[in-house]
Amino acid sequence: MDAVSDREQRVLDIIETARSKRAKFRDERITMAHGAGGKATQALIEGLLVPAFASPALDGLADAGIVRVGELGLALTTDSFVVRPLRFPGGSIGDLAVNGTVNDLSVAGARPLVLSLSLILEEGLPAETLRAEVAAIAAAARAAGVEVITGDTKVVERGHADELYICTTGIGVLDERASLSPAAPRPGDRILLSGRVGDHGTAIMLARGEFELDAEVASDTRSLWPAVDALLDAAGPSLRCLRDATRGGVASVLNELARAADVAMLVREADVPVDPAVAGAAEILGIDPLHIANEGTLVAVVAPEAADAALAALRAAGGRGDFAQAAEIGTCHGAPGGMVLLETAFGGKRVMDMLVGDPLPRIC
Amino acid sequence: MDAVSDREQRVLDIIETARSKRAKFRDERITMAHGAGGKATQALIEGLLVPAFASPALDGLADAGIVRVGELGLALTTDSFVVRPLRFPGGSIGDLAVNGTVNDLSVAGARPLVLSLSLILEEGLPAETLRAEVAAIAAAARAAGVEVITGDTKVVERGHADELYICTTGIGVLDERASLSPAAPRPGDRILLSGRVGDHGTAIMLARGEFELDAEVASDTRSLWPAVDALLDAAGPSLRCLRDATRGGVASVLNELARAADVAMLVREADVPVDPAVAGAAEILGIDPLHIANEGTLVAVVAPEAADAALAALRAAGGRGDFAQAAEIGTCHGAPGGMVLLETAFGGKRVMDMLVGDPLPRIC
């Protein structure tokens, strides 16, 4: 990459050295940071979970595992949802449980097919709360075109859960148009974003009443399959990879991809669509909107020759709300490999790393 | 059925009338009974969950949902595990999480293929506890011949979980030898049991130290696929249906099958294998060992002509421990449809219904 000063390069070298080591898990106890999607989560996953299973499917650390059965390629993905509060502007835990799983399949290039639903209920949960979430799950599944075909219910005593936890697992069928890999991005590739960043995390934060802000922000929870379908149609094999920017936000996703592909990613801050209310909330919290979780926003890396067509297709895609605010936000470069740099509105550059934890726990 | 007295018949008629109504969910709050696998669970599932999803796959209320993709038949099943304590004689939550899901696939006639693993961790959980359970999961998966291909981790604050909850979901491939249905049992069919009843629930109870009993009882947690494989080989299409006798025990499973097939099931108490320590614990608690949960014991209904071969194959099947104690415990009759009767050691008969709740909550 051009225009990295000597001083910047020295900082990059130090960070690079630290990051090239495989994450280790050395903590004696689990902390909230281990569930926040940042570096602590990565250390838990790479340092403890993945080595235990010695499964090639897990090595990619993707959002879905792939299994081949005869001629067929299937994607399997699972997520537990522990969001607090259960309901928030734009959605609820039931919506997230469906869309989160549908989206993990979608960004794996798999058309979502069926879901399983496992509930952990806290003793004393009002039946009306359960009824409302079951209705939300059914509605979200209909909207996403998937069927819930099996389930399980457990109840734990008061004080051993927080009303309701949901685990959804989904099967998708790998789309023949897709040849996606987190290692695929190359220098010159363009980085697309399907919409605004930070709406979901901000909506949750406001719903918790944790600070005063006279703003209305709704979660972006929705199925991303219409966006993925449009991108696959427009770009086919030129679509390098897709990621759903949930916990840890766009910044975490880009860092994971930059590392996996050993490319540098340069993001132009001015081109990232952010709602003014979200920008304001982020400012107050002292975090970057690119670190705030989304539940219906994806990052796509596309070969340069297909980028314009892909962006146009994305903007025209249907689905809940739409993807009209999709934008090209940056490009891939050869060096410094594994790093994400933000070109600020003032023309400077700074490293945009993953956070260790997340200032907003339990957002999904 | 012969030998039901007039008095017995009147009691049966009353129970029959009450049971023929579809279960309704009328409670205002969730109670522990809703998670216990008995009638309250049934009311929650049939009265609230199944109607919301309007999915034909859910109507069968089976342990796994079936989905066809092209030529392929797949089974999907999910379970959350909230057992307390995490470790107990014979196993741990990690073993249950693998074997429970593997067994739900197996009794659906599907060869277990891959699993997903979703963890909900309580803040402050010792890393060693997590490490031990992850190792148990990996070992149980190896023993069962399945691979964990994807996962998720969430962390909730202290006091919002009980150390560790696990949700596993599995995909299996429907075995061509299997044509199983809970509605298939017919008068004359034989009822087989793959081993002793009540070991798991009793082991959990003893591990909790809830009452004094100088006995060593270990959970029967293990993969049932070797037993299912042997039964399919020996009986093929004469194998009517299989059920894993977990929450609610053998009694609940038989009641579900008797209702689904509209047959009467007559169980000979003397032929049910029970460990003396389990029988003693059940006696103290005032419950029937047939109501106690198992985690590696199945019920098979087999056409009469194949029953002897099926039992011999079952007894010869391998796997953890073995199935040498498998037994034929009863037969199906035409009437009273939907009922399970127990022929006691003293020659009398009594109705063996499902319990409303379970005297042992959180056993899986």
What's residue A273's pLDDT?
Answer: 97
Query: ipTM surpassing 0.85, yes or no?
Result: yes
> Pick from A30, A45, A127: which is nearest to B30 by CB?
A127
Say how many CA atoms lie within 13 Å of A196 toward its Cβ: 18
Among A330, A331, A193, A335, which Cα is nearest to A263's?
A: A335
Q: How far is A87 from chain B (nearest CA, A)?
A: 17
Q: What percent of chain B has pLDDT over 90?
A: 73
Find, in chain A, the residue whose alpha carbon is nearest to that of B111. Answer: A69
Q: Please state at what angle helix B127-144 crosses helix B93-107, rounded to 10 degrees.
A: 30
CB proximity list for B204: less than 8 A, separation 6 or greater: B83, B84, B85, B88, B219, B293, B360, B363
Answer whether A31 sits within 8 Å of B64, measured CB to CB: no
B74 vs A contacts (CB less than 8 Å)? 69, 74, 171
Best-predicted range by mean pLDDT (A203-217, A255-269, B57-71, B339-353):
A255-269
How far does CA B245 lie from the centroid of its chain? Answer: 3
Assess B159–A contact: CB distance below 8 Å, yes or no: yes
Give first-to-last CA distance, chain B, whole Å: 36
DSSP B89-142: TTEEHHHHHHHHHHHHHHHTTEEEEEEEEEEEEETT-BHHHHHHHHHHHHHHHH
Tell me the nearest-neighbour CA distance from B193 into chain A, angstroms: 24
Tell me the nearest-neighbour CA distance from B236 into chain A, angstroms: 23
Q: CB A152 to CB B80 under 8 A?
A: yes
Order across the sheet with B264-268: list the strands: B239-244, B298-302, B190-193, B327-333, B264-268, B340-343, B349-351
Helical packing angle, A127-144 and A93-107, nearest 10°: 30
Residues of B in contact with A72 (CB under 8 A): 69-70, 72
Average pLDDT taken over every residue of chain B: 91
Q: Do B82 and A120 touch (CB under 8 A)?
A: yes
Size of interface A-B (CB pairs under 8 A): 265
Residue of chain A with shortest Cα separation from B31: A123
How far apart (Å, rounded) are the C-alpha atoms in residues B352 and B291? 9
Window A:118-157, CB contacts with B under 8 Å: 118-127, 130-131, 134-135, 137-138, 141, 147-157
User: Hey, are the CB atoms on A41 and B152 less than 8 Å from each other?
Assistant: no
Contact A116 B78 (CB under 8 A): yes
Task: Output the six-digit token pair for A267.
Answer: 């993001």
Q: Residue A229 corresponds to which tokens in the numbers above? A: 């379908």
Residues of B in contact with A157 (CB under 8 A): 32, 361-362
Render the burial of B316-346: b for 16+ CB within 10 Å, e for the rest: ebebbbbbebbbbbbbbbeebebbbbbbeee
- The three-state secondary structure class of B192 is strand
Whether B359 has a pLDDT exceeding 80, the answer reads no
Q: What is the mean pLDDT of residues A47-68?
A: 80
Q: What is the pLDDT of residue B38?
A: 78
**Which pLDDT belongs to residue A21?**
61
pLDDT at B160 over 70: yes
Residue of chain B minimizing CA distance to A122: B30
For residue B88, what are its two tokens? 């107990």
Mean pLDDT of B29-47: 88
- Range with lowest mean pLDDT among A40-49, A127-136, B82-91, B292-301: A40-49
Give the residue on A whose Cα is nearest the Cα of B41.
A153
Rounded-to-integer distance, Cα B341 and Cα B337, Å:
11
State how far residue A275 is from chain B, nearest Cα, in angstroms.
28
pLDDT confidence of residue A183? 95
- A65 CB neighbours in chain B (<8 A) are 114, 116, 149-150
In the sheet that holds A340-343, the strands lie side by side as A239-244, A298-302, A190-193, A327-333, A264-268, A340-343, A349-351
Note the pLDDT tens digit of each residue in A240-257.
Answer: 999 999 989 999 999 999
Average pLDDT over residues B73-102: 97
Of A92, A43, A15, the closest CA to residue A352 belongs to A15
Q: Which two tokens stand for residue A193?
A: 């974003």
Which of B30, B32, B127 has the CB atom closest to A28's CB atom?
A: B127
- Chain B CB within 8 Å of residue A11 CB: no
Contact A167 B118 (CB under 8 A): yes
B162/A167 touch (CB, cutoff 8 Å), yes or no:
no
Residues of B with CB below 8 A from A29's CB?
124-127
Of residues A54, A50, A77, the one with CA closest to residue A66: A77
Is B55 within 8 Å of A161 when comparing Cβ atoms? no
Residue A59, chain B, CB below 8 Å: the answer is no
Cβ–Cβ gap B41/A153 under 8 Å: yes
Which DSSP letter does residue B23 get? P
Asked if B337 and B258 count as a contact pair (C-beta separation under 8 A), the reply is yes
Half-sphere exposure of A68 (CA within 13 A, CB side): 3
Q: By C-alpha distance, which of B196, B49, B158 is closest to A138?
A: B49
Confidence of residue B1 (pLDDT cuts 50, 70, 90): very low
The reply to whether residue A150 touches residue B74, judged by beta carbons under 8 angstroms, is no
- State the nearest Cα–Cα gap between A136 and chain B, in angstroms: 10
Report whether pLDDT(B2) > 60: no
* pLDDT(B202) > 60: yes
Cβ within 8 Å, pair A116-B27: no
Beta bridge partners of B154: B120
The phi-psi region of residue B351 (left if phi > 0; otherwise alpha if psi is between -120 and 50; otherwise beta) is beta
3-state DSSP call for residue A185?
coil
Query: How confident is the model over A349-359, as a mean pLDDT?
Result: 83
| Set of chain B residues whose Cβ sits within 8 Å of the Cβ of A81 | 154
Q: Which of B155, B160, B171 is opposite residue A30, by nearest beta carbon?
A: B155
Chain B nearest C-alpha distance from A19 (Å): 22
Tokens of A63: 């959002």
B149·A67 Cβ contact <8 A: yes
> For chain A, which domains are there?
62-174 (3.30.1330.10), 178-351 (3.90.650.10)
- As given in the structure block, the two tokens for residue B330 are 């009863």
> For position A219, what pLDDT does the model report?
97
- The pLDDT score that the predictor gives to residue A345 is 80
Percentage of chain B lying above the pLDDT 70 cut: 93
Chain B residues touching residue A361 (CB < 8 angstroms): 155, 157
Over residues A256-265, the pLDDT tens digits come to: 999 999 999 9
Mean pLDDT of B55-84: 86
pLDDT computed for residue A347 by the predictor:
83
Give the confidence band of B216 by pLDDT, cuts at 50, 70, 90.
Answer: confident
| Range A288-316 average pLDDT | 97
Would you call B138 and A52 a contact, using CB atoms and an 8 Å cutoff? yes
Q: Are A33 and A74 in contact (CB under 8 A)?
A: no
Q: What is the CB-side half-sphere exposure of residue A43 using CA atoms within 13 A? A: 22
Which of B32, B152, B171, B175 best tests the A interface by mutation, with the highest count of A CBs <10 A?
B152
The CA distance from A46 to the nearest CA of chain B, in Å, is 12
Overall average pLDDT of the A143-147 stretch: 96
Q: Mean pLDDT lowest for which of A328-332, B75-79, B279-283, B313-317?
A: B279-283
Name chain A contacts of B58, Cβ cutoff 8 Å. 148-151
Task: Please tell me whether residue B204 adopts helix, strand or coil conformation.
Answer: helix
Q: Is the pLDDT of residue A59 over 80?
A: no
Contact A67 B152 (CB under 8 A): no
- Cβ within 8 Å, pair A124-B28: no
Residues within 8 A of B (CB atoms), A 218-277 only: none
69-88 of A, contacting B, C-beta below 8 A? 69-72, 74, 76-82
Q: Could you say which of A58, A147, A150 has the minimum Cβ distance to residue B149?
A: A58
Q: Which residue has the higher pLDDT, A172 or A71?
A: A172
In whole angstroms, give the CA distance from residue B9 to residue B212: 40
> How many of the other CB atoms lie within 10 Å of CB of A85?
14
**pLDDT value at residue A1:** 47
Residue A5 reports pLDDT greater than 80 = no
pLDDT digits (tens, 9 = 90+) for B235-250: 999 999 999 999 899 9
